[in-house]
Amino acid sequence: MEVSIKPEILTSLGPLPITNSLITTYIIIAAILIVAFRGLRKLKEIPGRFQVIQEAIVETWIGLCDATGGMNTRRFFPFVTTLFIFILLSNWFGLIPGISALGLNTLHEGKETFIPLLRATTTDLNTTLALAIVSVIYIQMEGIKSLGIKLHIKKYLKNPLKNPIDTFVGFLELISEFTKVLSLSFRLFGNVFAGEVLLIVVTSLIPLLAPIPFLALELFVGFIQAFVFAMLTLVFASMATTSHESTGGESHN
Amino acid sequence: MDGLKELGMGLAIGLGAIGPGIGIGILVGKALEAMGRNPEMTQEIKTNMILGIAFAEAIAIYALVIALIIRFV
């Protein structure tokens, strides 16, 4: 039973190490691209089974965007849905039976060790951290875009002479932007990684039939975590695009 | 020392999971109550419930981070 928190490095491209989770990331990206292109090229009036699934995902997220902040939040829909699909596939990738058995035996520090070729993307903290940073930067950019840079920065930096409590609140808001990165990335990583460890432990205790309910649980957890990540991004973005000063809660454009 | 480290790791995540566990229990209980009283609001309540769970769970994630730091750093 071996659990490694770091992704294994397979080779390196110059100074860039190529890890097994990176390979998985590109496999997933390729899969999404192929499915998206194939689905978009042959759109039909009467949708086939394949198109129905795609339409269902799109419709659900458009509905969620509308429910969160009206038509105004609909522009977050492409980003948020992409996040959802990518994270969902990454989470589920690790659940494909036998995926971690694919690997190479290599000599490492004098003894032979097994290195799996593929690793679920979101069990690598680098990936989740990158996703979280990208989504927070996106949130900030949307905030600047709809409020203007002056009004946006005013959320964080307030004149202490006017109202010292407001200055402190603004400071807390600034910190909370960094906590967003931390909690978004670690939530996703923690849940998926813990699920993987749970599956390993259960499989090593009772290999026959016992892991099946846990696999089902992990399918559910993977879905929920992808949903939560995308939903939180949506909610944060719709909060960032509303000014704190205006009481109506409407953004400027 | 190594034994103590592992004990600390176990305690960190074990104790840290108590609060969020209680919190999520209360949250879901209340949400179900609300759904029972007002079934047509189910979809909205469910979305907000999941968001609330995510925030409550973040506390457990912090404990997990500490546990991982103790174990691996």
A104-143 pLDDT tens trace: 777 767 777 777 888 888 888 889 999 999 999 999 998 8
Q: pTM score, two decimals?
A: 0.83
Question: What digits encode the pLDDT tens for the residues B3-50?
Answer: 898 899 999 999 999 999 999 999 999 999 999 999 998 888 888 898
Tell me the two tokens of residue A84: 């959802």
Domain ranges of chain A: 9-240
How many other CB atoms are found less than 10 A from the CB of residue A216? 11
**Weakest mean pLDDT among A19-23, A185-189, A248-252, B43-47:** A248-252
Which of chain A's residues have a Cβ under 8 Å away from the Cβ of B54?
187, 228, 231-232
Rounded to two decimals, the ipTM of the complex is 0.72
B18 touches chain A (CB under 8 A): no
Q: Does the CA dihedral A201-A203-A206-A212 come out positive or negative?
A: positive
pLDDT of residue B32: 94
Mean model confidence pLDDT for chain A: 83
A-contacting residues in B 34-63 (Cβ below 8 Å): 43-44, 47, 50-51, 53-54, 57-58, 60-62
- Give SS3 for A192: helix
Do the chains contact at B47 and A64, CB–CB below 8 Å? yes
Task: Give the mean model confidence (pLDDT) for residues A95-110.
Answer: 77
Rounded distance, CA A69 to CA A21, Å?
A: 35
Confidence of residue A252 (pLDDT cuts 50, 70, 90): very low
**Strands A9-13 and A16-19, how do they pair?**
antiparallel
pLDDT of residue A248: 45
pLDDT tops 60 at residue A247: no
Distance from CA of A119 to the nearest CA of B (A): 19
For residues A5 and B68, the answer to whether their CB atoms sit within 8 Å is yes
Question: What digits encode the pLDDT tens for the residues A156-194?
Answer: 887 778 888 888 888 888 888 888 898 899 889 988 888
Residue A4, phi then psi, degrees to nearest 5? -115, 130
CA angle B68, A230, A186 (to 5 degrees): 5
Q: Cα-atom radius of gyration of chain B, to the nearest Å? A: 17
Which of chain A's residues have a Cβ under 8 Å away from the Cβ of B47?
64, 67, 231
For residues A4 and A196, the answer to whether their CB atoms sit within 8 Å is no
| Candidate from B47, B50, B58 with C-beta closest to A187 | B58
For residue B37, how far is the Cα from the chain centroid? 26
From B3, B4, B16, B12, select the one nearest B67 (Cα to Cα).
B12
Which of chain B's residues have a Cβ under 8 Å away from the Cβ of A227?
50
The DSSP secondary-structure symbol of A7 reads P
Do the chains contact at B44 and A228, CB–CB below 8 Å? no
Task: Give the mean model confidence (pLDDT) for residues A46-66.
Answer: 83
- Give SS3 for A5: coil
pLDDT of residue B23: 94
For residue B55, how far is the Cα from the chain centroid? 8
pLDDT of residue A245: 54
**Strands A103-108 and A9-13, how do they pair?**
unpaired
